[in-house]
Structures are given as structure tokens and as C-alpha cells.
Amino acid sequence: MNQEVLRFRSSPGVFDLIGSHGTHDEGYRFTFSGDLNQMAQQKAFLQDNFFEVGQCGVYPAVKDQETYNRAIKAIWENRIEGWWNYEDKLIALQACTHEEFRAALKISCERGKRERA
């Protein structure tokens, strides 16, 4: 009998996000973006850096726009997984230019290709 074993790797906190799909912490409405791994890494990073992060369904969230803006800038500056999900917002906040964002994205993609090779 031929059996295949499926293996996957997930970031700490992914199963917490999945388990929280019905959770809506009071007042948390500015949600973060990405796949479950990316959002788990973003949430952990933000909490480690003293941001108050709650849940809005499966999405990590903060309570106000100012905190959200500071958070996505910190995600960008530290290149936390999923930073590329915030291109338009980062440019609007003048955290980077379109050219700076594209250059960082190119570097990230090239790094990813090398790591998979």
C-alpha cells in the first residue's frame, strides 16, 4: 500500500486564528491582511512590540486608525511576512514610495527563489 504523508509548517498562532473565527473583541475593527501564516506573524510581532491587538473574526485587529497606521508602518519597516499586502496604504501614508515598495518586493521575491532552490 502506497501511503503519502502530508506535512506542513505553520507559524505559531495560526491555529489560534482559525479557532477564533467567531470571536469579535469589542471595539477591534481595523483588521490586518494576509494568509493565516502572515496574519499570525503580524499579530505576534505587533504584540511583542506593545501594540494592543484583538480579534475581529479570524483577523487580528486594532481599535483605531492611528494605531493601525503605526502598525502597518512597523510591519513594513521590519519586513514582517505579509508586508506586501499593504502597498496602497503604505504609499498613501508616505511610509514609502511606489519605487521603494517595488524594489523591496523584488528583493523579497529573489530571496524567496534562492531559499526554495
Q: Are 53 and 20 in contact (CB under 8 A)?
A: no
Q: Domain spans of the chain?
A: 14-116
Question: For residue 63, which of 26, 105, 93, 103 has the smallest C-alpha distance?
Answer: 26
pTM of the model: 0.80
pLDDT tens digits, residue range 14-55? 556 555 555 778 889 999 999 999 999 999 999 999 999 999
Chain Cα centroid distance, residue 56: 14
Q: Is the pLDDT of residue 10 over 70?
A: no
